[in-house]
Amino acid sequence: MTGTNGPPDVDLDRVWTGVAAQVWLRRPGRIERLAARLLRSPGLARALVVTPSLLIGWVIATAVVLLAGMAATLGTHTPYVALFDPAVAAAGIAYAYGPGIDRAWELSQSMAVSDRMVLLARALAVFGLNAVFGLLASAASGAAVAVTFGWLVPMTAVCALALAAATLARSANVGVAAGMSGWVIIVLAGKAIAGQVTAAVASPSLVAPYLVFTACCGALVLYTTRIPRGAA
Amino acid sequence: MDDDELITAIAAGDDTALRELFSRHAPWLAIRLRSLLPATDTEDVLQETFLAVWQGASGYRPGSAGGWLWGIARRQAALFLRRRGPATLELPGLLAINDSDGDPAEAALSGVVMARAAAALGPDGSPEREVWRLVYVEDRPVAEAAELLGVPVGTVKSRAHRVRRLLRVALRMGTATEGGAS
Amino acid sequence: MNVELEELVRRFGHTQAVAGVSLRAGPGVFGLLGPNGAGKTSLLRMMATVLPPTSGRLELLSRDPGNHAERREIRRRLGYLPQNLGYYPGFTVVDFIEYFALLKDMPPRQVPRAVATAVERVGLGDKARSKLKTLSGGMLRRVGIAQAIVNDPELLLLDEPTAGLDPEQRVAFRTLLREIGECGTVVVSTHLVEDVGAACTEVALMDRGRIVFHGTPHQLTARGEGTGAAGDAPLERGYSAVLAAARS
């Protein structure tokens, strides 16, 4: 790197590398450091922190949607939060995935911290974040307790659907579309059959089918991400 | 860009300016440090020097970049030696680094050079060594040293004078043989 | 032996992209030549543990990539540059390289110096904190090379690495390959015949999923002598001669 040389036994390139290492150093934030310790993997923590649907822009958008839902609920007594959150979470989770959103996906597939681990960590983080926001908004909007918590199970099912669709089709957009449309269909079907919009989130009899569906989608996701798929 | 502009850029956080400054100045700084320190220590001190440049560039007043850089290098070398111990440094080199007022006795009290300095004053137990130990190392007032040695105050003073002269001579002789360590 | 392939086959639907390849490679620089569609990329992807073989035996760095734990160990010692790298536009050069260094399970304390070394080795020292979206194609390629070498890999796989590099950069790149090839295995897949001649110690030529030549660049050149095959340089003539013979 240096033009003129110093003393023959002094490695100036090595000295510069030492300086550069400190000057170019990136110091992980508090959340990343905590995640690294909890997950016992600095790589996985970093991957989590750069997830598109966990970046500040997306998080703010989610909060805004739920606040709107909360306001709507307070006004009309229809639990919009319970209806919005699953859709938002499904979109967020689908956007945590693969070739649709990760431009360096081929390279990510050759990493020691496997893309599947990254996907699962991201999906859990997005789900968790949406669940917390949703619970707060739901509780603050005074909805009935059953509805406040009742939508967590359907949310899980819809997220699993979105993720399964995304991994099968290898496209985040397909996942979002599947999740959203799936949820809309369920809600409308609930309204048609039981007469109220909240049927999809408030009926205890649906819990078992939701969970079975979630398990199937989950298995599908594990299957499609375990075997690295060949290129078309 | 000239050196002043580079350093201003560095103060503003431009790492490519630091890289350019390094490629211009690291070689001669390395040569100068190498005349005082072994190779691996030179590398460490040079690295610390440029990190100090990166952090302290805002304190630079346009003028002699070379002088400023050497000042930082010298300070880093002194810090480095204080952490690490005397190792293989020669007396003249140490004095060049600990440039404090030109009083050789004071400079030698950096704690690092005591063995070498003492050796320049004669064998253990000689009058000069004793005065050196009491007045400079143990920092006793001249009157107390005189009491302890059992000699008049004037004798202590003249011996202290001899101590300083001996060290200066050793310095000059050392510098001549080193070929001018700055 | 860092790489051992035995009758490796990879099928997509009804086509065999790789139709029975056997290869052994130790330390050194190994060139993989061939026309487009010859199966070079699929072979490289199998060696990068991104694609599982349909049949045959594959052993990398004395480990079995079919086993989950061993695959992770292989990947820690692997460097891979795909043909289409993709990049995160908002990341800086050092961000990008550091990200993949961490994903390769490099101990965080070693990462800053390793990243700095990799950046300087590919000649991007004055672009270290520039965002990737501001870089040219050749520079992006070099970023890709840097992330591949950041963990001092024992097995380095490069798919068309010199695309977009100017001649001076290609020379520097070949020096880099030779340095890494001293202790590890480098596999370079390229359709640029002259890259191979200058840097590789061994060359394999693939056509339609099979290896049709395996030897030194010198031996490949010899195959072209006196045949009147197409090509401006001796190595190119050897290449054409071997291909023509394989297809007849």
Which residue shows structure tokens 């300095």?
Answer: B117
Interface residue A15 vs chain C (CB under 8 A) = no
**Does the structure show a pLDDT above 60 at B102?**
no
- Residue C151 phi, psi dihedral angles, 5° rounding: -95, 20
Decide if C50 and A109 are in contact by the 8 Å CB cutoff.
Answer: yes
Q: Is residue C183 located within the same domain as residue C112? A: no
**Does the structure show a pLDDT above 70 at B180?**
no
Report for A115-119, A200-204, B87-91: range of highest mean pLDDT: A115-119
Per the prediction, chain B carries an average pLDDT of 77
Lowest mean pLDDT, pick from A4-8, B16-20, B55-59, C43-47: A4-8
**Does the structure show a pLDDT above 70 at B171?**
no
Decide if A7 and B18 are in contact by the 8 Å CB cutoff.
Answer: no
pLDDT of B101:
47
Span B134-145, average pLDDT: 78
Cross-strand pairs, B71: none
Decide if A109 and C128 are in contact by the 8 Å CB cutoff.
Answer: no
Locate C78 and state its tokens: 């692997």
User: What is the separation of C-alpha A189 from the centre of its chain, rounded to a whole number of angstroms?
Assistant: 26
* Closest-CA residue of chain B to C124: B16
Residues of chain A numbered 114-173 and touching chain C (CB < 8 Å):
114
Q: How many CB pairs under 8 A join B and C?
A: 6
pLDDT of B36:
82
Residues of chain B with CATH 1.10.1740.10: 3-84
pLDDT digits (tens, 9 = 90+) for C129-151: 999 999 998 899 999 999 999 99
Decide if C50 and A228 are in contact by the 8 Å CB cutoff.
Answer: yes
**Is pLDDT larger for residue A227 or for residue C166?**
C166
Q: Is residue C90 located within the same domain as residue C172? A: no
**Is pLDDT larger for residue C118 or for residue A231?**
C118
Mutate to test the interface with B, among A1, A16, A19 (most CBs of B within 10 A): A19
Decide if B50 and A6 are in contact by the 8 Å CB cutoff.
Answer: no
Task: Provide the CB-side half-sphere exposure for A45 (13 A, CA).
Answer: 17
Give the gap in angstroms from C-alpha B76 to the nearest C-alpha of chain C. Answer: 21
pLDDT of B96:
54
pLDDT of A144:
62
pLDDT digits (tens, 9 = 90+) for C210-221: 999 999 988 988
Decide if B19 and C129 are in contact by the 8 Å CB cutoff.
Answer: no
Decide if A110 and C52 are in contact by the 8 Å CB cutoff.
Answer: no
Lowest mean pLDDT, pick from A7-16, A78-87, B25-34, C166-175: A78-87
pLDDT of A100:
60
Within a domain: residue C72? no
Q: Is residue C92 located within the same domain as residue C137? A: yes
pLDDT of C75:
95
Mutate to test the interface with B, among A10, A12, A25 (most CBs of B within 10 A): A10
Interface residue A223 vs chain C (CB under 8 A) = no
ipTM: 0.87
What domain range includes position C236? 1-53+154-248
Domain limit, last residue, from C106, C130, C152: C152
> B91-178 sits in which CATH class?
mainly alpha
pLDDT of A1:
60
Locate B174 and state its tokens: 């050392």
Cβ contacts of C117 on chain A, cutoff 8 Å: 17
pLDDT of B43:
93
Domain limit, last residue, from C129, C152, C175: C152
Interface residue C119 vs chain A (CB under 8 A) = yes
pLDDT digits (tens, 9 = 90+) for A157-207: 888 888 888 888 878 888 888 888 888 888 888 778 777 766 666 677 777
**Does the structure show a pLDDT above 70 at B117?**
no
- Asked if C33 and C191 touch (Cβ cutoff 8 Å), the reply is yes
Interface residue A17 vs chain B (CB under 8 A) = no
Q: What percent of chain A has pLDDT above 70? A: 86
Q: Is residue C145 located within the same domain as residue C161? A: no
Report for A205-214, B89-98, C29-38, C90-99: range of highest mean pLDDT: C90-99
Q: Is residue C84 located within the same domain as residue C17? A: no
Q: Is residue C167 located within the same domain as residue C242? A: yes
**Is pLDDT larger for residue A99 or for residue B59?**
B59
Pairing of strands C15-25, C3-12: antiparallel
Q: Is residue C164 located within the same domain as residue C47? A: yes
pLDDT of B174:
45
Q: Is residue C37 located within the same domain as residue C127? A: no
Lowest mean pLDDT, pick from A82-91, B3-12, C68-77: A82-91
Within a domain: residue C73? no
Per the prediction, chain A carries an average pLDDT of 81
Cα–Cα distance measured from residue C82 to residue C78, given in angstroms and rounded to the nearest whole number: 13
pLDDT of A41:
92
Mutate to test the interface with A, among C95, C98, C103, C113 (most CBs of A within 10 A): C103
Q: Could you say which DSSP state residue B44 is in?
A: H
Q: What percent of chain B has pLDDT above 70? A: 73
**Does the structure show a pLDDT above 60 at B176?**
no
Which chains touch C (3+ CB pairs under 8 A)?
A, B
Decide if A106 and C95 are in contact by the 8 Å CB cutoff.
Answer: no
Within a domain: residue C31? yes
Angle of helix A172-194 relative to helix A152-169, nearest 10 degrees, comes to 140
Lowest mean pLDDT, pick from B53-57, B143-147, C26-30, C69-73: B143-147
Q: Is residue C163 located within the same domain as residue C116? A: no
User: What pLDDT band is residue C194 in, cutting at 50, 70 and 90?
Assistant: confident
Q: What angle do CA B111, B117, B122 make, to 5 degrees?
A: 140
pLDDT of B181:
38
Angle of helix A30-39 relative to helix A42-49, nearest 10 degrees, comes to 130
Within a domain: residue C140? yes
**Does the structure show a pLDDT above 80 at C67?**
yes
Cα–Cα distance measured from residue C85 to residue A160, given in angstroms and rounded to the nearest whole number: 29
**Does the structure show a pLDDT above 60 at A228?**
no
Give the gap in angstroms from C-alpha B79 to the nearest C-alpha of chain C. Answer: 23
Cα–Cα distance measured from residue B58 to residue B79, given in angstroms and rounded to the nearest whole number: 21
Within a domain: residue C87? yes
User: What pLDDT band is residue A73 in, cutting at 50, 70 and 90?
Assistant: confident
Decide if B19 and C126 are in contact by the 8 Å CB cutoff.
Answer: yes
User: What pLDDT band is residue B20 in, cutting at 50, 70 and 90?
Assistant: very high
Within a domain: residue C66? no
pLDDT of A81:
75
Span C3-7, average pLDDT: 89
**Is pLDDT larger for residue C76 or for residue A137?**
C76
Within a domain: residue C14? yes
Residues of chain B with CATH 1.10.10.10: 91-178
Tally of domains in chain C:
2
pLDDT of C105:
95
Q: Is residue C84 located within the same domain as residue C200? A: no
Q: Is residue C41 located within the same domain as residue C8? A: yes
Whole-number Cα distances in Å, C68 to A1, A108, A222, B80: 41, 16, 14, 48
Within a domain: residue C62? no
Q: Which is nearest to B100 in space by CA: B123, B75, B67, B119?
A: B75
pLDDT of B132:
78
Cross-strand pairs, A9: none
Q: Which is nearest to A30 in space by CA: A19, A21, A38, A22?
A: A38
**Is pLDDT larger for residue C90 or for residue B21?**
B21
pLDDT of B182:
36
Q: Is residue C159 located within the same domain as residue C243? A: yes
B3-84 fold: Rna Polymerase Sigma Factor; Chain: A (1.10.1740)
Cα–Cα distance measured from residue B63 to residue A55, given in angstroms and rounded to the nearest whole number: 46
Looking up residue C14, the CATH number of its domain turns out to be 3.40.50.300
Q: What is the radius of gyration, based on Cα positions, of chain C?
A: 18
**Does the structure show a pLDDT above 50 at C95?**
yes
Domain limit, last residue, from C137, C152, C167: C152
